[in-house]
Chain A
Amino acid sequence: DGGITQSPKYLFRKEGQNVTLSCEQNLNHDAMYWYRQDPGQGLRLIYYSQIVNDFQKGDIAEGYSVSREKKESFPLTVTSAQKNPTAFYLCASSPWTEGYYGYTFGSGTRLTVV
């Protein structure tokens, strides 16, 4: 079945360490996105990518980095510069079809800094 796979589901990190969250899709979608969700809050956009080798900052990009070397993959690195990295991270993808921007989301990665 087509979909988005995020791994791992749970991740623990020590303060000061970088960590990379994986996001892979087999939907042949052009665009991919990373969101962060804190308890009781909505989703905030970190980075998004419309095509391979191109990406843009979202609303809260500081302390994060991404790459888009393949259409299927959009990994997110949470760096030590991110002051409050503990959160639920969601990856999504969408086709570039005019008039319809439905997103497909992964099941998320819950990151805890210890």
Chain B
Amino acid sequence: DAKTTQPPSMDCAEGRAANLPCNHSTISGNEYVYWYRQIHSQGPQYIIHGLKNNETNEMASLIITEDRKSSTLILPHATLRDTAVYYCIVRPSRGSNYKLTFGKGTLLTVNP
């Protein structure tokens, strides 16, 4: 699976947009970008995933660059409850490899 690079930590003011970057320069054509988050002492929670088009759901938006070498997760109006570690993961959509590999992610702290 392609490797990802994320900043170890970020801060955001409550009510503002949080933009979390992820670099995945070695991503291949059949690999999706997934985002999960983990609130302290809980299991990770799926947020969103995409292949090459931008995606939006009730939680967040995912912007993938045209060359697919990087992406940004956007939380449009961050709240204190969005404070968590955010993981960016890339992996193929097909094949027998079920595994998701979680790095250290980005600790997002939303401040009042």
Asked whether, in the complex, the Cβ of A42 is within 8 Å of the Cβ of B43, the reply is: no
> How far apart are the CA atoms of A71 and B22 in the complex, in Å?
35
State how many angstroms separate the Cβ of B35 from the closest Cβ of chain A: 11
Chain B interface: which size bin?
Answer: 20 to 34
**Which of B45, B46, B93, B104 interacts with A42 by CB under 8 Å?**
B104
**Which of A58, A92, A99, A102 interacts with B43 by CB under 8 Å?**
A92
Secondary structure at the B interface, as helix, strand, loop or mixed, is loop
Asked whether, in the complex, the Cβ of A43 is within 8 Å of the Cβ of B98, the reply is: no
Asked whether, in the complex, the Cβ of A58 is within 8 Å of the Cβ of B98, the reply is: no
Instruction: Tell me if A31 is interfacial: C-beta within 8 Å of chain B.
Output: yes
Asked whether, in the complex, the Cβ of A105 is within 8 Å of the Cβ of B43, the reply is: yes
Chain A interface: which size bin?
Answer: 20 to 34
Asked whether, in the complex, the Cβ of A108 is within 8 Å of the Cβ of B102, the reply is: no
26 chain-A/chain-B pairs, Cβ below 8 angstroms: A4-B43, A33-B98, A33-B99, A40-B104, A41-B104, A42-B103, A42-B105, A43-B44, A50-B98, A58-B99, A88-B41, A92-B44, A94-B98, A96-B98, A99-B32, A100-B49, A101-B34, A101-B93, A101-B98, A102-B46, A103-B36, A105-B43, A105-B45, A106-B43, A107-B42, A110-B41
List A residues at the B interface (Cβ < 8 Å): 4, 31, 33, 35, 40-45, 48, 50, 58, 88, 90, 92, 94, 96, 98-108, 110
